[in-house]
Every structure is written in structure tokens, then in C-alpha cells.
Structure 1
Amino acid sequence: MRFPVLDGWRGLCALFVALFHFSAFGNFYLNPFVRGSYLFVDFFFVLSGFVITHAYLGRLNSAPDAGIFLVRRMGRVWPLHAATLVAFIPLEIVKALAIHGEAAAFTGRFAPSSILSNLFLVHSLGVESELTWNMPSWSISAEVFAYITFALVCLLARRPWLVTAAAVALSAAGAFVVMGWSDHFIDTSFDLGYFRCLYGFFAGHIVYRLFMAARGAGLAKLPMAGLVEATCLIAVIVFVAAARGNALSFASPLLFGLVVWVFAFEGGVLSHLLAKVQFQWLGARSYSVYMVHALVIALYQKTAAVMQKLLGRPMFAETAVGGEETRLIFFGGTWVMDGLALSYLATVVAASALTYRFIEMPGQASFNALLLGRCKPTVQPATVDVT
């Protein structure tokens, strides 16, 4: 069983996360829904738990099975992560050459001391004092440790119902830690990112078990599926716009869990739309979209800084949107900035197509070939890959 509609959701959510991070002072930037789109990271966590459970529940019965599973997951996420991390280094070298006047190179979040924690994907465990290098990659670190936790639970619990009981406890524990210790509601990353992921990932496991229970009870399709899907979409739009920067955001995995459950049935008009080839293409490249967009933003910012120096006119503005001082690209008015944002998204998608073809797929194939060369795997790859 595949879930192409959920793949479509994944692609759209990746685009909105990319748009959220783009700092150009236009109408997109000011839109409440866009400003809250960082919450879609929690959608990724829930979706990951859902499809990993679908692919591997009941199949991780030995240490070799768990090892193969983890190597495959690393093959899915690490090659592109490493490539984007390395790609930031030349940008710091350019900064060091003083081609444009910015902060000192290889300092702050680009300090060399944080390269190893990023390379070994431990930078969501509180070992750093801020987001470092390719900032969105903290969630990949958190997911890797969620995979490890899932594998350990499967090995220790053995029976599916015990795994699910452990999932309930782990999701609740993750929620408890984030609610109790996060300074920014659910928007925690380098410090409590693993616990945020636990909350969503194991909520996704529970959603999958509820989905299969409904299917087992004879519910092949949702009644009034079109209306239910439309209601879910409206709820997501309203929630994301309203939950930004407040305690309502703690409910993100719960709402996204409901959305995943509904759209897993794939019965409504929106599901048929998301199953179209365009959304499937984007969904397949969503990990690349997620991982390369910060690099594209850095290129846009450095280009604006160079143009500011060459033209002798300001290309940036300081603003306090959301109560925090932020330096945004700004020239030519808000509509010009909206056009710049659209060009940025197009650049991200184009770059993602390249990284998907030349880094993601070859990297994954290399890890799989490594496994085939060392052992005969009993665990097959996940039907749907999410990160």
C-alpha cells in the first residue's frame, strides 16, 4: 500500500516551510499563514511516524533487521545533509575574502566547532547553543534519533500492541518535555528538537494504528470524504495562521495527525488533486526542497549585499515583525519582493530537481548497495520515504 496523497501534502508543506524562511519584506512575508508555516515541520514528524510504522511495524525482529533499517534511513537523509553542509563552507570563504561587508566569517552559527555535531547529526540534542550551518537540518537530526528510538522499541517490545503502548508513552513524554521546558512553545529546535520530534513521530505511529483499525472495521472510504477533506484543509489554514508563537501550537501534531488519518483514505476531491503527477513530482523532491532552501536564501542574501555595495543604495530593511528585530531584503516595494519570493521558490524547486537526481538518489543507492554487499536484507525499504 502506498500513500500518494500524503506525498502530495509533503511537497506542499516543504514549499511553505521554504517560503516561511525567505526574508524579503513583501506580502508573502507578512501573511499570517506563511508566518506560521514553520509548524509544518510537525506535519513531517507525524507523517514520518505514520509511514515508517506502515513499512516496518512487525518487521524489526532482530538486531540485524534494526541495523539494516537504520542504514537505509541514513542513506535516505545523510548524503544530501552532508552535501548541503559542505556547500555552506564556500559561502563563508567568500565572506572571509571581504567581497561584501558582513559579519566575520566562520563565527556564530557558522563556527567550525559546530561542523562535527552537524556532520554526525547530533545538533538537535542540545549540544549547540543556536541553530547552526544549514538551519533546517536540526529536524533531520531529530528524526534520525526518532528512527533509533523506534527501532529500539520494536526490538524490546516485540508485539505490535506493546510497541503502540510505548508509542503513546513516548509521544506523551515528548509533549510533556516540550510544553514544560520550551521557551518558544512548540517552536524548539537545537535544544529540545528530539523531544518535539518524539511527540509528532509517535503520534504518527498512533494515527497509523487508528487508520488500520478503521480499515479493519470495514471503513474503506470516509463518508462525505470531499467535505471532510475540505474541512481539514480549512482547519489547517486557520490553525497555522492562529497558532504562530502561542500555546495553541502545542496542538500541531494532534491536528496534523487528524489530517494524515483523513487523507490516508484518499477518497475526496482534494485527494484526487494531490495525487496528480505535478504534486507527486514535488512530493518526491520535498526532502531536497527542505534541505536546499536555506542555501538558496543565503545566495539571495549575499547577492543583495553585493548589489548594495556596488549600487550604493540600501537593499535591506530592519523590521520588528513578530516582536523580533529582523534584517530583510527590501527594495522596489512589497510587490517587487513578492516577485522575488516567487523567483526564490522557482530556484529552490529547480535546485531540488538537481539535488534529487544527482545527490539524493545516488546516495540512497550507494547505501543500499553497501547493504547488499555485506548481507542479504530481510527488511525492505519503506514504501513512502519521508523526512
Structure 2
Amino acid sequence: MRFPVLDGWRGLCALFVALFHFSALGNFYFNPFIRGSYLFVDFFFVLSGFVITHAYLGRLNSAPDAGSFLVRRLGRVWPLHAVTLVAFIPLEIVKALAIHGEAGAFTGRFAPSSILSNLFLVHSLGVEGELTWNMPSWSISAELFAYVTFALVCLLARRPWLVTASAVALSAAGAFVVMGWSDQYIDSSFDLGYFRCLYGFFAGHIVYRLFLAARSAGLSRLPMAGQIEAACLAVVIVFVAMARGNALSFASPLLFGLVVWVFAFEGGSFSRLLARRPFRWLGARSYSIYMVHALVIALYQKIAAVMQKLLGQPMFVESVVDSGETRLIFFGATWVMDGLALAYLATVVGVSALTYRFVEMPGQASFNAVLLGRRKPTAQPATVEVT
């Protein structure tokens, strides 16, 4: 069973997360929906739990099975993560040369001491005091440990119903920790990121089991599928705009779980739209989009800084965002900045197409060939592989 519609969702969510992080003073930046789009990280977690369960439930029956699964998952995420991490280092070297040795380069989130935690993908476990280097990669760290947890549960619980009972407990435990200890509501990352991921990942597992139960009961397609999908889209837009920075955000995995369940049936007009080739193309490259966008942002910021120096005109402005002061790129009318944001998204998509072709897929195949002793074709994306 394939879920091309969910691939389409994944591509759109990756673009919204990328746009959320782009700091340019325009209509996009201050749009409430865009400001809340960091919540789509929880959509990724739920979707990951859904499709990983679809692909592997009942297949992890022994330690070698679990080992192969974890190697494949590591091979899926680590090569591109490592390349994007290393790509930030020359930017810091340029910063050091540009400011003639003044404080700034290789400090704060770019401290050399945090390179190892990033390379070993443990930087969502509270070992760092802030987001470091390629900031979105904290969620890849959290997912990797969710995969380890899933494999252990499958090995120890054995029976599907017991795996699902364990999933309910783990999802509840993740929600309990985040609700009890996060000072940013669900927006925990480098500190409690693993628990945030547990909440969403195992919620996705539960959603998949509910989907299977519905199919087993004879529900092959939702009645009034088009209207239900439209209602889901409307609720997601309103929720994301309203839930940022408050306790409502804790419900994100629950809402996104419902959305995944509805769209997994692929019965409405919106499903048919999302299943079209452009959205599936974006979905296949969503991991690259997610991993390269911070690097593209850093390049845009450095270009703006160079232009400011060459032209003698300010290219940045300080603005209060979410009770904190943030430096935003600003050098023209609002429509100009909106155009810059769209150009940035186009750059992200273009770069992601390259990294998908020359880093992500070959890296995954080479990783599997070395550690599993088998070679996979580099051009064929795995439908159920999730970032």
C-alpha cells in the first residue's frame, strides 16, 4: 500500500517550516499561520510513526532485523545531515576572516564543542544548552532515538497489540514530560526534543492501527471525503495560526494524527490534488528541503551583510518578534521582501533537488552497501521512508 497523498503533505509542510525560519520583514514573516508553522515538525513526527509502523510492524522479530532497520534509518538521515553540518564550517571561517578575529565566529550555536554532539545525533537529548549548527537537525536526532525505541518495543513486546499498548504508554509519557517541563509549550527541541518526538511518533503508530482497524471493518473510503478533507485543511490553518506560543500547541500531534488518518484514505478532491506529480516530487525531496533551508538562510544573510557593507545602506532592521528582538533582512518595500521570500523558497527547492540527487540518495545507497553488504539503486526513492 502506498500513500502518495501523505508524501504531498510532507512536501508542503517542509516548505512552511522553511518559510517560518526565513527572517525577512514582509507579509509572509508576520502572517500568523507562518509564525505557527514550526508546529509542522510535529506533523513530521506523526507521519513518521504512521509510515514506519506501516513498513515495519511485524517485521522486527529478531535482533538482526532490528539492527538492519536501524542501519537503514541511520543511512536515511545521517549522510545529508553530516554534509549540511560540515557546510556550515566554511561560513564560520568566512565570518572569522570578515571580522578580523573579533568575537562572533565559532561561538554560541556554532561553538566547535557542539560539533561532536551533532555528528553523533545526540543533540536533542539535553546535552547542549541551545540549538546548534544546522538548527532544524535536532528533530532528526529525536527521530533517530524514536526509531531505537520503536525497535526495542517491537523486539520486547512481540505481539502487535502489545506493541500498540506500549505505544499508547510511550506517547502519553512523551506528552507528560513535555507538558510538565517545557517552558516553551510544545516548542521543545534541544532539551526535550526526544520526548516531543515520542509523543508524536507513537501517536502516529496509534493512528496507523486505527486506520487498519477502519479498513478491516470495511471502511475503504470515507463518506463525504471531499468535505471532510476541506474541513481538516481549514482546521489545520486556524489551529496553526492560533496555537503558536500557547498551551493549545500541546494538541498538535492529536490534530495532525486525525489529519493523517483522514488523508490516508485518499478519497477526496484534495487528496487527488496532493497525489499529483509536483506534490509527490516535493514530498520525495522534503528531507533535503528541511535540512538545507537553514544553510540557504545563512547564505542569504551573509549576502545581505556584504551588500550592506558595499552599498553603505542598511540591509537589516531590528524588530520585536514573540517578545524578543530579532534581526530581519529589510531593504525595500513589503512586496520586495515578499519577493525575496519567494526567491528564497525557490533557492531552497533548487538546492534540495541537488542534494537529493547527489547526496541524499547516493549517501543512503552507499551507507547501506557498506554496513549491510548490499547495494540499492540510487534513483528509486523509498515510498515509506520518512524524514
Three-state SS of the structure 1 residue aligned to 2:327 is strand
Cα distance in structure 2, aligned partners of 1:338 and 1:102: 33
**In the alignment, what sits opposite 2:177?**
177
| AA partner of residue 144 (structure 1) | L
Residue 98 of structure 2 aligns to a residue whose secondary structure is coil
Tell me how far 1:225 sits from its aligned partner. Answer: 0.2
Distance 1:333 1:374, change over 3 A: closer
Q: Where in structure 2 are the equivalents of 1:1-387 lying within 5 Å?
A: 1-98=1-98, 104-373=104-373, 383-387=383-387
Question: Structure 2: how far apart are the matches of 1:207 and 1:121?
Answer: 27
Alpha-carbon displacement from aligned partner over 1:260-291 (angstroms, at most 9, x marks no partner): 00000000000000000000100000000000
The letter of the residue matching 1:30 is F
Q: Shift of the alpha carbon at 1:321?
A: 2.2
Structure 1, gaps ≥5 residues long: 376-380
Residue 378 of structure 1: aligned partner: none
Task: Please report how far the alpha carbon of residue 324 of structure 1 lies from its aligned counterpart in structure 2 after TM superposition.
Answer: 1.1
Partners of 1:126 and 1:371 in 2: how far apart? 29
What SS does the corresponding residue of 1:104 show, helix, strand or coil? strand
d(CA) in 2 for partners of 1:224, 1:314:
54
User: Using the alignment, how far apart are the partners of 1:386 and 1:102 within structure 2?
Assistant: 42
Residues 100, 305 of structure 1: 8 Å contact kept: no
Offset of residue 385 of structure 1: 1.2
The one-letter code of the counterpart of 2:126 is G
TM-score if structure 1 supplies the norm length?
0.97
The one-letter amino acid of 1:225's match is A
Which ranges of structure 2 fall in alignment gaps of 5 or more residues? 376-380
Q: Do the aligned partners of 2:305 and 2:315 also contact (CA within 8 Å) in 1?
A: yes
Letter of the structure 1 residue corresponding to residue 83 of structure 2: A
Q: Deviations over 1:103-141 (max 9, x none)?
A: 521000000000000000000000000000000000000
Q: Is the 8 A contact 2:368 2:374 kept in 1?
A: no
Determine if contact 1:168/1:202 at 8 Å carries over to the other structure. Answer: yes
Q: Deviations over 1:306-364 (max 9, x none)?
A: 11111111100000022111000001121111000000000000000000000000011
User: What is the RMSD of the two structures over their aligned residues, measured on CA atoms?
Assistant: 1.4
On the 8 A contact 1:11/1:283 being kept in 2, the answer is: yes
C-alpha distance in 2 between matches for 1:102 and 1:18 = 30
Contact map agreement 1:52 1:382 (CA 8 A) in 2: no
Displacement of 1:370? 2.3
CA contact (8 A) 1:33 1:237 kept: yes
Structure 1 residue identity aligned to 2:47:
L
Q: 2: CA distance between counterparts of 1:314 and 1:8?
A: 39
Distance 2:373 2:208 in 1: 33
Deviations 1:34-69 (A, max 9, x none): 000000000000000000000000110011000000
Task: Please state how far the C-alpha of 1:100 moved relative to its aligned partner.
Answer: 8.8
**Alpha-carbon distance in structure 2 between the residues aligned to 1:235 and 1:37:** 14
CA distance in 2, matches of 1:308, 1:264: 49
1:285 and 1:184 map into 2 onto residues whose CA distance is 30
> Structure 1: how far apart are the matches of 2:103 and 2:273?
46
For residue 367 of structure 1, report the CA deviation from its aligned partner: 2.0
Give 1:115's aligned amino acid: I
Q: Report deviation, 1:241.
A: 0.2
Report the residue type matching 1:147 in the other structure.
Y
Give the whole-Å Cα distance in 2 for the aligned partners of 1:83 and 1:71. Answer: 18
Name the CA distance, whole Å, in 2 between partners of 1:383 and 1:167. Answer: 23
User: Shift in Å at residue 102 of structure 1?
Assistant: 8.3
Distance 1:101 1:311, change over 3 A: farther
Which stretch of the first structure deviates more once superposed, 361-370 or 225-234? 361-370
* CA apart distance, 1:99: 5.9
